[in-house]
Structure 1
Amino acid sequence: MRITFLFVLALTGVFVDVVLARDRAHPRSSSTRLGSAPHITNEAERDASYWNEFAQETLQEKIQQAANLNAANGAKNVIMFLGDGMSVHTVTAARNLIGDSANQLSFEQFPYFGLSKTYCVDRQVADSACTATAYLGGVKANYGTIGVNAKVKRYDCTTGQNPANFVESIAKWAQDAGKDAGLVTTARVTHASPAGVYAHTANRDWENDAKVLEKGGCSAKDNVDIARQLVEWDVGKKLKVVMGGGRRNFINTTVNDEEGLPGHRTDGRNLIQDWLKDKQANKQQAAYVWSKKGLSLVDLDKTEYLLGLFASSHCPYNGDLQRSNYKLVKPSLTEMTEAAIKVLQKNKNGYFLFVEGARIDMAHHDTRARKSLEDTVEFARAIERARDMTSEEDTLIVVTSDHSHTMTVNGYPYRDQPITGLSNALGDDDLPYTILSYANGPGFSNTYHDKAGRKEITPEETENVRFEYPATAPLSSETHGGDDVGVFASGPFAQYFSGNYEQSNIPAMMARALNVGPFANL
């Protein structure tokens, strides 16, 4: 009964091609949308015994999980996977994308599940900065700030410099306990979520010195930018693995990177070279790579420090990666995760690893739901790889999101209808509507004529990966949602993550399992 998403993908091939093929195989004519008979993909589901037997198997799994609790020792390692913007609706829709609503993504098979509350101290709906402070540092903060408490308001470059207001992350707790730490992301490594691992700043946008100078009254010397904090400050310097995008924040405007794109710094610094010089001065085996080929050539068994910057800004969407030659030159999230674990697992004391599927969020902001779901499936694949490489006996894996989005799954579509397509019925205006839609965002342009009512959407339009799904209110960028997000856990003390709790409780529970920091079981 337990069918993993990898098994489904193995049977069907690359998931994007499968989805497009299903669209072609089941064209949605007007009669289909008006309610033709649905196709039953699993005849066994018609019989009550199917569901009873399924429940018995699930119950036996739960009983075994409970029996294993008393045998659980503390965790040697913790891997936190963060699906940026991965709402519960996103998980549900991605499940359909891989084949059917009955399927499960890899992390949905984890034995324990809870919900976390995502608000900031000053906002009902959070951003990725204040939430990073919560789920990595255990303290709720103000919107737009990272690694500082709520005494610091966004852009306040005076209180933001005060170390008394700094919030340390679980990465530091792990380092102080003799463990290693690292991060992997498909965003810039200086972006809000990964910066929560090592940075302290009053403004998430201060990724380089030029960004600090954009706001009047703030000194780039006193307000050290996020890229410099990664290279120069204690936690960032000690990170054994840093992989993602964001080369432009490490080099000057007068310098082009390996792909010919200019940097964004204005202080003349080349922080990549500074990082390498620091490791060489301390006689540490370090490697900087900027391509998939470069990563493949690194001897991970001998490398102590690994810096991989694979894009000037963010890494490509995974669907775009698979549809283009990018897959030959840029690693996927799964490939980066595998490399990170190989480097970190050499420490006999264990490690903390943060892995972010960042572009789930960015596609939602553009109301390009298909791209978001593609990245969610890749995120699940990376989790599956991590679980295969580690043991449930000594490695706690926690999967969650920082915040939700406004996308919903609606209408009454048949089971075999692609989630990214049109519903099987028409609206009261006799026009079709999509199964996925947003409360606001750029997809508004696909929703209404000025005075003539809704626009008609064709099945062909929804097959385009760049299609912007309908939105109720016009915004250039869709907003986050304020609803709770899921927390999935597997490994030692995974039972801690059941129930409903503040997002700021997450690092406390991880730290107790890892026996590090202020929440260690001393």
Structure 2
Amino acid sequence: MFKKIGAVALSTGLVLSAVSIPVFADKPESPGKGHGNGNGGKKVENIIYMIPDGFSADYASNYRVYKGEDAVWDAHLKGMYTTHSANADITDSAAAGTAMATGVKTDNGVIGLDPEGNELSTILEASEEDGKSSGLVATSTITHATPASFVANVEDRNNQTEIARQYISSEVDVLLGGGQNMFLPEADGGNQEELNLIEQAQESGFTYTETREELLESTDIDVEEGEKLLGLFAEDALSPELHRDQTEEPSLAEMTEASIDVLNQDKDGFFLMVEGSQIDWAGHANDAAWAMSDVAAFEEAVEAAMEFAKQDGKTLVIVGGDHDTGGMTTGSGAYSGLNADILNNVTATGDFMAAQLNEDRSNAKEIVEEHTNLTLTEAEVQSIQNASDAALAINHVVSDHASVGWTSTNHTGADIPIYAYGPQSDKFTGFFDNTDIPKTLANILKVNLDN
């Protein structure tokens, strides 16, 4: 059965056939098109920078099949960009996040420093210097590599306790995600040696929330009066979207909406970074259902941002991943068709299903069929029973049924599509590098990103 995948593939081809244009250069505007379509030189007061970690063009194509119609971003494809780091053809999230926040390449594993160790300023900080409020949202620990790249300066991305300390002493107004342990002292089960950064945050003006209900009741915070919002909804990362209904955690869309409600009170505008963190983790696991369900959760957040931008008229929404993860393919086997829609029936991650297997894995067929609505062959059951990594074997069986292929369990060097909606979105048209994105944003906001 034919599934609709043409929009991104065709648009991508058109983009790549164009002459490469440095995206930060001044370019002719498109007059009279309105704020939804590219819209000339209309003033931008707010930036919502949305990063689906690990997402690439094949994720976009498979997601369209999974959803059964175009995604909200498909009509707003502008270009593609390269992602290599300073010391590797294939970037990690720290180097990619740093490039996307500062406009400077750095080495893998490094956040907010150039390869010589010099501290870099970010587009978020440049926005703050211009009087804007700021926020970070993620479904990982909020101290993870991508959100950290917009505020912190550390040699090692794994130093999340130091990143937490830098957050609390920074000017950022909203922090929402997982990672309570990064803010709590060891005496309270956390990872800080002695500091209780949650208490310090509260003393410095942060309202602290731990549950979805608390978050939804806290949006009357007045950033104009110096009030801030810290929401840490899990000890570590938030749950995969497939398991969110078993928690008291807010969705990515709810965190995005709450952040906008708080930050929009600033008359000078705001800068908000939103990361769909676990698309990347699903890619590492080759877990197609986890990937697609977290893309769906990310799309709900993008819809919320674009709806605000549509009503506001002065907000630019940028959507672009930091790199591809897993080398996902749209289709596998010999012209087998596209079946990613069957992933809607999957109710658990491969990791969860593997954890339900008994010692000899004799219940593999029962467990996988219960959570996938698939009928497994004997060969597929044996592949799970004999595998050194049961979760990966389950994920490959499910992916094969969905006609989703994988080439890696790590990142790849694939080029990444960028989507933009709102005033001056046409400035992202073309083929460029990830470092050009913050430079273009600085140009649009007329702020100084001096690196």
TM-score range, shorter chain: 0.7 to 0.9
Question: For residues 372-387 of structure 1, what are the structure 2 equivalents within 5 Å?
Answer: 372-387=291-306
Question: For residues 204-353 of structure 1, what are the structure 2 equivalents within 5 Å?
Answer: 204-208=157-161, 225-232=162-169, 237-255=170-188, 262-265=189-192, 267-279=193-205, 286-300=206-220, 302=222, 304-321=227-244, 324-326=245-247, 329-353=248-272
What is the distance in 2 between the residues matched to 1:307 and 1:487?
Answer: 29
Q: Does 1:408 align with 2:332?
A: no
Shift of 1:419: 6.1
1:82 maps to amino acid = I
What is the distance in 1 between the residues matched to 2:195 and 2:433?
Answer: 40
Asked if 2 retains the 8 angstrom alpha-carbon contact of 1:300 and 1:339, the reply is: no
Q: Does 1:142 align with 2:107?
A: yes
Q: Which residue in the other structure is 2:375 paired with?
A: none
The correspondence for 1:502, drawn from 433, 436, 440, is: 433
The correspondence for 1:370, drawn from 271, 284, 289, is: 289
The correspondence for 2:127, drawn from 174, 191, 211, is: 174
Q: Which residue in the other structure is 1:418 paired with?
A: 341
1:377 counterpart SS class:
helix
Cα displacement string for residues 242-291 of structure 1 (whole angstroms, at most 9, x for unaligned residues): 00001101112220xxxxxx2122x2110010111122xxxxxx310011
Q: Which residue in the other structure is 1:194 paired with?
A: 147
2:186 counterpart SS class:
coil
What is the distance in 1 between the residues matched to 2:323 and 2:238?
Answer: 21
- Which structure has the larger Rg? 1
Asked if 2 retains the 8 angstrom alpha-carbon contact of 1:189 and 1:243, the reply is: yes
What is the distance in 2 between the residues matched to 1:197 and 1:248?
Answer: 21
Asked if 2 retains the 8 angstrom alpha-carbon contact of 1:365 and 1:479, the reply is: yes
What is the distance in 1 between the residues matched to 2:214 and 2:328?
Answer: 38
2:249 maps to amino acid = K
Q: Which residue in the other structure is 1:105 paired with?
A: 71
What is the distance in 1 between the residues matched to 2:427 and 2:53?
Answer: 22
Shift of 1:195: 0.3
Shift of 1:414: 3.5
What is the distance in 2 between the residues matched to 1:248 and 1:174?
Answer: 29
- Where structure 1 has 5 or more consecutive residues not aligned to the other structure, the ranges are 1-37, 43-61, 153-164, 209-224, 256-261, 280-285, 422-442, 451-456
Normalised TM-score (structure 2):
0.76
Mean alpha-carbon deviation: is it higher for 87-96 or for 333-342? 87-96
1:298 counterpart SS class:
coil
Q: Which residue in the other structure is 1:203 paired with?
A: 156
Which structure has the higher relative contact order (CA within 8 Å, separation 6+)?
A: 2
What is the distance in 1 between the residues matched to 2:55 and 2:395?
Answer: 26
Question: For residues 480-495 of structure 1, what are the structure 2 equivalents within 5 Å?
Answer: 480-495=411-426
What is the distance in 2 between the residues matched to 1:479 and 1:460?
Answer: 15
Shift of 1:449: 7.1
Shift of 1:205: 0.6
2:135 counterpart SS class:
strand
Q: Does 1:95 align with 2:64?
A: yes
Q: Which residue in the other structure is 2:22 paired with?
A: none
Q: Does 1:77 align with 2:46?
A: yes
Asked if 1 retains the 8 angstrom alpha-carbon contact of 2:31 and 2:40, the reply is: no
What is the distance in 2 between the residues matched to 1:459 and 1:353?
Answer: 34
Identity of aligned residues (%): 30
Cα displacement string for residues 157-208 of structure 1 (whole angstroms, at most 9, x for unaligned residues): xxxxxxxx01111111011111111111101111000001110011101112
The structure-2 alpha-carbon separation of the partners of 1:264 and 1:495, relative to structure 1 and needing over 3 Å to count, comes to same
Shift of 1:375: 0.4
What is the distance in 2 between the residues matched to 1:250 and 1:310?
Answer: 12
Aligned-residue CA RMSD (Å): 3.2
What is the distance in 2 between the residues matched to 1:140 and 1:417?
Answer: 35
1:116 counterpart SS class:
strand
Q: Which residue in the other structure is 1:20 paired with?
A: none
Asked if 2 retains the 8 angstrom alpha-carbon contact of 1:447 and 1:472, the reply is: no
1:374 maps to amino acid = S
Question: For residues 461-472 of structure 1, what are the structure 2 equivalents within 5 Å?
Answer: 462=398
Shift of 1:72: 3.2
Shift of 1:490: 1.1
What is the distance in 1 between the residues matched to 2:338 and 2:84?
Answer: 34
The structure-2 alpha-carbon separation of the partners of 1:41 and 1:351, relative to structure 1 and needing over 3 Å to count, comes to closer
1:264 maps to amino acid = N
What is the distance in 2 between the residues matched to 1:117 and 1:351?
Answer: 27
Shift of 1:227: 1.1
Shift of 1:518: 3.5
Shift of 1:302: 4.0
